[in-house]
Amino acid sequence: MHRKTHWEEVYATKASDEVSWFQAEPTLSLALLQEVGSGASSTVIDVGGGDSRFVDAVIAEGLGHVTVLDISRAALTRAQTRLGTRADDVTWLEADITQVALPANAFDVWHDRAVFHFLTEPLDLARYAAAAATAVRSGGALLIFTFAPDGPTRCSGLATVRYAPEEIAEELGDSFEFVRGFAMIHHTPSAREQRFSVAVLRRR
């Protein structure tokens, strides 16, 4: 409950473009969706999607049906309001990814741009990996963004864990094959640089 309280407070007190992870256009995420073969009939889950613009872009580009999962009701409500009638085409899940029971083999693509590096406890990491292994179909893809080894040690008042791309794959376990990884730099709304690692994995 402490985790949920924290994120409800964040979204109650900060505008969308005031949080450090804000992106006006999720260009890289869209390119990776296309790379892994996502299309109109694909199912995509955005883990920790909050009120990001990812769902808007996927709808606009016709790259799949999106499920947005976030622990914060305030974040989901904000996204639904922004989308208007298009929100009816999205599945919304208010849940903690370390606690939720997702349907088996339900998703072709698992996208996480802001959650994994906040999981500092081994049990939470194990539960996350188990949820992904259950929910992603064989042959499906994981697109995971985390802070890089030289990235921030804290974000939004919380401690983070930093990873190289290969280390992301190691944490997720043998259910996934590491396809490729790379570094990127995210520019926050305040023009600061944050160094990220990106891992593309395939469900075995």
Number of neighbouring beta carbons within 10 Å of residue 2: 5
Residues 116-143: pLDDT tens digits?
A: 999 999 999 999 999 999 999 999 999 9
Alpha helices in 136-172 (DSSP H): 165-172
**What is the percent of the chain where pLDDT is above 70?**
100
> Could you give phi then psi for residue 46, rounded to 5 degrees?
-105, 100
Q: Are 52 and 71 in contact (CB under 8 A)?
A: no
Residues 75-90: pLDDT tens digits?
A: 999 999 999 999 999 9
* Domain boundaries, given as residue ranges, for the chain: 2-203
In whole angstroms, what is the distance from residue 57 CA to residue 62 CA? 8
Pick the CATH number of 2-203 from 3.20.20.60, 3.40.50.10800, 3.40.50.1820, 3.40.50.150: 3.40.50.150
Rounded alpha-carbon distances, angstroms, from residue 45 to 66, 130, 145, 158, 195: 6, 15, 14, 24, 24
Q: Looking at the predicted structure, is the pLDDT value of residue 181 above 60? A: yes
- For residue 43, the Cα-to-chain-centroid distance in whole angstroms is 14
Q: Looking at the predicted structure, is the pLDDT value of residue 53 above 70? A: yes
pTM given for the model: 0.96
In whole angstroms, what is the distance from residue 148 CA to residue 144 CA? 12
In whole angstroms, what is the distance from residue 200 CA to residue 34 CA? 12
